[in-house]
Amino acid sequence: MQFITAHPDRVTVDGLWWGVEPIRAVLASQGIPIAAGTYYAARAAARVGPMSAALREAELIDHIRRVHAAHFGVYGARKVWLSLNREGVPVARCTVERLMGQLGLVGALRGKVKRTTIAGPAADRPGDLVRRRFDPAAPNRLWVADFTYVSAWSGWVYVAFVIDAYSRRILGWRCSTAMTTPLVLDAVEQAIWTRAQAGVSDLAGLVHHSDRGSQYGALAMTDRLLSAGIDPSVGATGSSYDNALAETINGLYKTELITRRGPWKSLEQGRDRDPGVGRLVQPPPAQRLLRRHAPRRARGRLLPSPPDPAPAEVSTV
């Protein structure tokens, strides 16, 4: 390699120019074959410098540590990867996974499960209008609802959510120490109020989807939905997949906020920490839409992410 690099422009007394290819041909005839690609790759690497890859990884490590710390240390490799690409730092997901493994950085892990869905007595209930299709074409087409639990020193605290399936925005939420109909009904009332504040008063055609818990099947709940022009929908008993989007929000709520920011002593303490709850419930639009803006690939080409929804849809309240 050094010989070829030192003599590519040498000219003999006869006016013959050596060049890279003639030198390779002579070396091959002497039993020292060197592929052209091997030579040019080695020359390019020498020109760039051996430290370029190390410097690149050092920069990525700084970015990964920054993003991981900025989100309370709950982001795993996938979310860190999406955040970096959104910020204009191009990096492969496998690279993020490898560097996070070297740094010992991990995302939040979900814990044990407590049963909250208890179906009421056999009765006529709405059908499943969603059938696991949680990707509507516009806001106010599908709301999903569910509630989860938080273990506090004073006992169990239950938190209900209502989420717009289009933007993944949490429109309504309520806390209570009992699994009652008012808990889920108040969350729906807040969701209706949130949309009214944005000038949306006609909710005709909207579907409210939940599991078969007795709270959602109560007469007061059904009457309120129908009076607002909302069509009720319920999934099957004991099937988390029928309400997978709401189950995901529940898991993220406990994993990224409750587990990391505890211990929680009482319901009142959770309300006092509203700034932290608010950041989870209404995160910045870029964070709320991470899943919808994952880089797409087609035949090896990186395609542009889809545009953000309308500003009015992702604005916080």
Q: Extract long-range pairs of 279-283: CB within 8 Å, 24+ residues apart.
A: 280/252, 280/253, 280/256, 281/170, 281/173, 282/169, 282/170, 282/316, 282/317
- How confident is the model over 252-262, as a mean pLDDT? 76
Lowest-pLDDT range of 184-198, 209-223, 252-266, 283-297: 283-297
Q: What is the pLDDT of residues 177-226, one digit of tens each?
A: 888 889 999 999 999 999 999 899 899 889 999 888 888 888 898 899 99
Q: Give the model's confidence band at 85: pLDDT under 50 very low, under 70 low, under 90 confident, else very high.
A: very high
Q: 28 vs 271, which has greater pLDDT?
A: 28
pLDDT at 288 over 60: no
- How confident is the model over 290-306, as a mean pLDDT? 37
C-alpha distances in Å from residue 291, one per residue of 94, 176, 206, 288: 18, 30, 23, 8
Q: Give the model's confidence band at 243: pLDDT under 50 very low, under 70 low, under 90 confident, else very high.
A: confident
Domain 142-303 has CATH 1.10.3720.10: no
What is the share, in percent, of the chain residues with pLDDT greater than 70?
Answer: 69
Q: What is the pLDDT of residues 107-118, one digit of tens each?
A: 887 665 555 555
Q: Identity (one letter) of the amino acid at 108?
A: A
Q: How far apart are CA 172 and CA 163, in angstroms?
A: 7
The neighbour count for residue 224, using CB atoms within 10 Å, is 18
Q: What is the pLDDT of residues 95-144, one digit of tens each?
A: 999 999 888 888 887 665 555 555 555 556 677 888 888 888 889 999 99
pLDDT at 291 over 80: no
